[in-house]
Chains A and B, each alone.
Chain A
Amino acid sequence: NAGVMQNPRHLVRRRGQEARLRCSPMKGHSHVYWYRQLPEEGLKFMVYLQKENIIDESGMPKERFSAEFPKEGPSILRIQQVVRGDSAAYFCASSPPSDFATNEKLFFGSGTQLSVL
């Protein structure tokens, strides 16, 4: 069972370009989470999705950022018109649903390091 796959591992964009980050969750996992990590800081929640639904996007900036998790294919985090402040590591994590008996941990991808020139 392959782990959470993120690509690309490194992404370089110039200011004003678009960045598309991909995440394939582990097989059987219906929950996908995106986090952003700035240097020397913790993980900031961005968005939580299930298949074809955005459940919680309270951590997403209001403009330029969007996320999707289609019925088929990976989850995509899209950043339009990137600025230098978007430079960060973006982590995707997946999980089965929680239940009362077993609160499942998140399985993380290796992250995408976005650098905006």
Chain B
Amino acid sequence: AQKITQTQPGMFVQEKEAVTLDCTYDTSDQSYGLFWYKQPSSGEMIFLIYQGSYDEQNATEGRYSLNFQKARKSANLVISASQLGDSAMYFCAMRSFWMGTSYDKVIFGPGTSLSVIP
């Protein structure tokens, strides 16, 4: 069965410092994508970054980068130069699909609450 694990329920980081949020996943599918979403206290889900299972280079989007280690099945999110507005819940997600079929599943981890300290 597919599963996403985020082992850090809560994290604190000093403003302007970098922080790494852990994510490990379990799947037997060959093709999949890994995503990170941010959910501030207002509740909306904000897409941050995506990594495909066949991508050889780690994804980057501004201050966000994804440390993808396929053999270890980990997809950690790195936020550089943390800002107060980064305080939020962060969810790791995985999308699996089988070409030529309608199978297409997206599951989420339990989340990590990040608090940025001034």
Contact = CB atoms under 8 A, between A and B. Distances in A.
A42 B104 contact: no
A105 B47 CA distance: 8
Nearest to A50: B102
B91 A42 contact: yes
B109 interface: yes
Interface residues of A, number: 28
Interface of B is mostly: strand
A103 B95 contact: yes
Contacts of A99: 99
Interface string A44-56: 1100101001011
Interface string B94-118: 0101010011111111110000000
B33 A103 contact: yes
B91 A43 contact: yes
Interface of A is mostly: strand
A89 B45 CA distance: 12
Contacts of B43: 89, 110-111
A99 B97 CA distance: 8
Contact of B104 (A98, A105, A111): A98
A89 B32 CA distance: 27
B44 A97 contact: no
A42 B109 contact: yes
Contact of A42 (B35, B47, B50, B108): B108
The 4 closest A-B pairs by CB, nearest first: A103-B33, A108-B45, A98-B97, A42-B110
